[in-house]
Amino acid sequence: MSVELIAILALVAIFAVATVVPINMGALGFVAAFVIGTIALDLTVDELVGGVEGTDATGFPSELVITLIGVTYLFAIARNNGSVDLIVRNSAAWSPPSRPRRPSSESPSRSQHRSLRPAT
């Protein structure tokens, strides 16, 4: 079986598992990529993380992923303890009030609309 077909089957399996079990599809994707890389492509862990020698592949961006996981975790904590709701509520209280809009069915009369006045 080709590696491409294995990857597509893994993607279908990820979708199936994620619809049944409440788990993040991204986490399943990382696991599937690791398993396919080590088993189907015969890559070592060092090659997966650091890149393959003699190619332009730079490897896995682990610093970026750690940053994204940390920021996501921070916002999850802030949402669970109510900080995000508090910030949104206070931001809405400090914002200027919006002007009521005229319904679209009512168009301004000719005298009210500046662009329809004749040039003087």
Domain edges within the chain: 1-60, 61-92
Please name the residues in contact with 59: beta carbons below 8 A apart, sequence gap of 6 or more.
47, 48, 49, 50, 51
Q: How far apart are alpha carbons 38 and 33 in whole angstroms?
A: 8
Q: 30 near 14, Cβ under 8 Å?
A: no
Report pLDDT digits (tens) over 39-57.
Answer: 888 888 777 777 656 556 5
Cβ 84 vs Cβ 78: under 8 Å: yes
Total length of the chain = 120
pLDDT of the chain, 120 residues: tens digit per residue: 788 899 999 999 999 998 898 888 888 888 898 899 888 888 887 777 776 565 565 666 777 878 888 998 998 899 899 898 888 888 877 777 777 666 665 555 555 555 555 555
